[in-house]
Chain A
Amino acid sequence: MEGNQLPCQASYMRNALFNQGYLDDQFLQLEDLQDEANPHFVEEVVKLFYSDSARLIRNIELTLENTPSDFEKLDNIMHQYKGSSSSIGAKKVKKECTQFQEYCEVENIDGCLRTFQEVKQEHASLKRKLENYFQLVREAR
């Protein structure tokens, strides 16, 4: 279903996600790749993102606990996570990732710790919103 053909509730939610800055243009790019033969492509990619990125989040957590001064490692893992979040159009998540990497660059552990909380919050928040959104889309079919 195209974004502009969604029934009221799903459409409203979709618009809100964009207007409130949760999603960016990349999400639209993914929607353009959907067709009758592949109607769930975006949802599949998002699900894949959340299942795959859980381990990256966990790895950052463990590194912050065990070897917090290994900024190179933190930056590497965050680079991967940021790339994936960018691929689904997760705008706010990506912004926090960039901030985290900036703190890594100047080796500011407090900044990293604080920002990582934000990353996790945005990660969870978007997950909830997208789950709700896809549920609405599915119900409308």
Chain B
Amino acid sequence: MAVEDVGSGCSSSGDQEFHVLAVDDSIIDRKVIERLLKISCCKVTAVESGSRALQYLGIDGERSSLGFDDLKVNLIITDYSMPGMTGYELLKKIKGSTKLRQIPVVIMSSENILARVDRCMEEGAEDFLMKPVQLSDVERLRDFMLRGGEEREVVGHKRKTRDDSCSSSVLSCDRDHPLSPRSVSAMAHCKPLSKRPRLLATD
């Protein structure tokens, strides 16, 4: 569960390094998503379950309050179907936590079930990706974080004395703020989501 450093291919232009927490019970899928994220210049922590993820985030939160920003999580990407706690249940717990709710959550699933997608988006997921996840999906997520990161600098500066709970989030600090990234569904409108047409197709 150690945070791994980015490979040498990502040293360009002093890019922000995003830290992504990946949650998947499949060891194969964890290996692949880890590689996808590293290629996209993200630090990755990959865990096997929702409970492990919450454990990590809880510890992370404590460290953040002590001023340790290194392990701050910028994005959570989770499988939907997992034993114990599903990705949806994890999403609900994250969005239900004042400390964690501002971390964007992306759901992955091998099943193209519209009701499932709707449920997740309504609960506050940023995006819903069909598995197997591809490099283009991850690159789009990175763009999303980059955009949110830039905007946060403005938002964060204005808000830093007001709301400490915002400090550990990258995106969506204040969804009502004119410069804040967006509402839940707007990420879908940034770029065409290659997977979306499949989601809407009737089987």
Contact = CB atoms under 8 A, between A and B. Distances in A.
Interface of A: 26, 29-30, 32-33, 35, 37-38, 41, 44-45, 48-49, 52, 79-80, 82-84, 86-88
Contacts of B132: 26, 29, 86-87
B35 A87 contact: no
B27 interface: yes
Contacts of B28: 45, 48-49, 52, 84, 87-88
Given A87-B26, A87-B32, A29 B110 contact: no
Contact of A33 (B27, B29, B36, B81): B36
Contacts of B7: 37-38
Nearest to B30: A48
Contact of B134 (A29, A80, A82): A29
Interface string B8-30: 11000000000000000111110
Contacts of B8: 37
B199 to A, nearest CB: 17
Most buried by B among A30, A32, A48, A83: A83
A44 B31 contact: yes
A82 B31 contact: no
Q: Considering residues A29, A37, A44, A87, which has the most beta carbons from chain B within 10 angstroms of its beta carbon?
A: A87
A44 to B, nearest CB: 7
Nearest to A33: B35
Given A29-B132, A35-B9, A37-B8, A80 B26 contact: yes
B27 A52 contact: yes
B198 interface: no
Contact of B131 (A35, A44, A87): A87
Contacts of B110: 79, 82-83, 86
A86 to B, nearest CB: 6
B135 interface: yes
Judged by DSSP, the binding face of A is helix
18 contacts: A29-B134, A29-B135, A30-B32, A33-B32, A33-B35, A33-B39, A37-B7, A38-B35, A44-B31, A48-B28, A52-B26, A52-B27, A52-B28, A80-B26, A83-B131, A86-B110, A87-B131, A87-B132
- Dominant SS among interface residues on chain B: helix
Nearest to B134: A29
A82 to B, nearest CB: 7
Contacts of A37: 7-9
A83 B33 CA distance: 14
A37 B9 CA distance: 9
A80 B36 CA distance: 21
B192 to A, nearest CB: 19
Interface in B89-117: 110
Q: Which 6 A-B pairs have the closest CB atoms?
A: A84-B28, A33-B35, A87-B132, A83-B110, A87-B28, A26-B132
Contact of B31 (A29, A48, A86): A48
Contact of B35 (A41, A52, A86): A41
A86 B110 CA distance: 9
Interface string B129-143: 001101100000000
